[in-house]
Structure 1
């Protein structure tokens, strides 16, 4: 029965993507089938084998050690507050982003990350049937973040047609930034974070290949990566401030969204006797069902999924961690994978703003297809959750 629901889920996701396709005749089915198989193999490898266990434990240990180092700096500045147990989320989850941001900056400065991103992107372009720029951008988005990635390709932004620009933005919204992976791992199981990062990469290509199919001519498929000339200490200062800005912005958004959700929940309970999240759970329950979540838990899971879409993944992860003990391990795993992406309404503004800051006309183009962008990125999250449901 699990496999039948999973197959039904795949058909629904592909059907919804097909309905939104802007050129159904140009869809390349062979690369899509290959990438679905790759997603299944990688999910099984990471979640169901000893090798995957070693890999994930190794990655989790690295991030655990990085968080320990980060806490040295946090403790030095905010030691008194930390000792009294005040503001633990901001101190223990968000502020370590600053240190991880610095490490990313160092790897960028010494051209280690650009080398990795470029060559992984080139390999992926052979699999997904898309351009080198699109493949590089997907890898880079998963490392440097959904807004920062456009800086690395800003020389080419103004030359891109809307269809290629859509794919770049879809990749940015479907992935996450390495700078906040450690934060995610404090709220949900690291194995689901790692698995989601890997299969979302291919999921983004799959959905974009259906919604937005095209072929890049060889003479236009040129990858030019922008590298800013900075001294080592200029770079350190920039990435420290960037990391701190991310931590503060995420903290501010959490304050606003959590408070707003509490107010809306209170209002709905007064009027309807049900919380807003509970009502959204009914709306999203069919999607939760095709993702392989047991029928008894689809409303609860649907509410968490809707929370992520309406607010952001941090708010949803906090909701999941609060009730994880009341849900089955399978539901926790599927929902966890669904939550690991930037697919929410606020990301439309973030991505459009990032592109507009580099090229105003292209930023306006992104804003116009914002809802279609979110639609595709959400399908990527649903697809990844369905793939994982076959394995769990």
Structure 2
């Protein structure tokens, strides 16, 4: 039965993407089929085989070690505040390690390891997805550098890009997550779901964009110019990345404070006026989508509420909420976990359009205009990834 529901779910996702397509005649189905098959194969390997378990275990172990190193620095500065339970340990143990991970990414950038890896994986992807080198590079770079920082690396080409190519770049940035916060996710979700989502979203972004926004890149247009970072000394670079990581951690903390408080207030008002909380309302609206993703109907209401919470706030808020529902089945938790690992939420529209606008005001305004369409596509990517993961849970 779960396979039938999954197939129906995938067809519904494709149908919703097809309805929103701006050029249905130019949709190329062969690359779509290849990428869906690759998603299924990779998900099977990651969730269902000993090799996948070892890969996930190895990836998780790396982050466990990195987080333990980060904790040394946090303990040194904040001491006893880190130990115990509650929001203060969450800030120090989950958010503060972002500073260390960001510093490590800066070092790998400085010694040219990351640019090499990004180019190689991007080149391989370009042979599969039927799109250009720039789009493929951007998808991989977004998953490592972050949804706003990635545009700096291709700023030479931002002003020259037509609207349809700019959409794909922004869609990749919203569908993936930054490597600097993957460790934080792994402290709230099972690592295997985080890793699976990272892989699935990389292909899913191209699948949905290829339906909503199909186009062909000519040989003359298929040029990749990556902006070299300003020449800095090692310690100048290190200080910059450390401060960037700290800004991300503080920003996430501020967003959590604001969104959690707003949701609590709105829940209170709804309960007072209608006798039902706002999240309950969202749960009923999104329950059918949770069901087609493969969530058992008994858990669909709770799963729908978590999906909506992520959409209207951010993934951190929803992940914290997920931890409050141990009564959900393991299958439902796995599917919802995969859905939550992306930047597909309303606040990302402002982050991405702001990042592009900082480099080119005209292009930033274009991004703002198709912002809701961007969020629509990125949400479909999350639904598709969760549906395929549900085949093996």
- In the superposition, the TM-score normalised over structure 1's length comes to 0.99
Q: 2:306 aligns with which of 304, 307, 311?
A: 304
Whole-angstrom distance in 2 between the partners of 1:375 and 1:231: 42
My pick for the range that moved more, 44-53 or 262-271, is 262-271
> Where does residue 120 of structure 2 map in the other structure?
119
Q: 2:280 aligns with which of 274, 278, 281?
A: 278
Following superposition, the deviation at residue 83 of structure 1 comes to 4.0
Which residues in structure 2 correspond to 1:348-367 (within 5 Å)? 348-367=349-368
Following superposition, the deviation at residue 275 of structure 1 comes to 1.4
> Where does residue 153 of structure 1 map in the other structure?
154
> Where does residue 224 of structure 1 map in the other structure?
225
Question: Do the aligned partners of 2:143 and 2:179 also contact (CA within 8 Å) in 1?
Answer: yes
Question: Do the aligned partners of 2:175 and 2:381 also contact (CA within 8 Å) in 1?
Answer: yes
> Where does residue 342 of structure 2 map in the other structure?
341
> Where does residue 130 of structure 2 map in the other structure?
129
> Where does residue 212 of structure 2 map in the other structure?
211
Following superposition, the deviation at residue 389 of structure 1 comes to 1.0
> Where does residue 79 of structure 1 map in the other structure?
79
Which residues in structure 2 correspond to 1:1-392 (within 5 Å)? 1-83=1-83, 87-228=88-229, 229-323=231-325, 325-392=326-393
Deviations 1:133-179 (A, max 9, x none): 00000000000100000010000100000000000000000000000
Following superposition, the deviation at residue 84 of structure 1 comes to 5.9
Following superposition, the deviation at residue 236 of structure 1 comes to 0.2
Q: Match of 1:39, SS?
A: helix
Whole-angstrom distance in 1 between the partners of 2:132 and 2:287: 36
Following superposition, the deviation at residue 80 of structure 1 comes to 3.2
Deviations 1:22-44 (A, max 9, x none): 10011000000000000000001
Deviations 1:243-299 (A, max 9, x none): 000000000000000011111111111122211111100000110111011111111
Following superposition, the deviation at residue 305 of structure 1 comes to 0.2
Whole-angstrom distance in 2 between the partners of 1:329 and 1:63: 23
Root-mean-square deviation (CA), in Å? Answer: 0.8
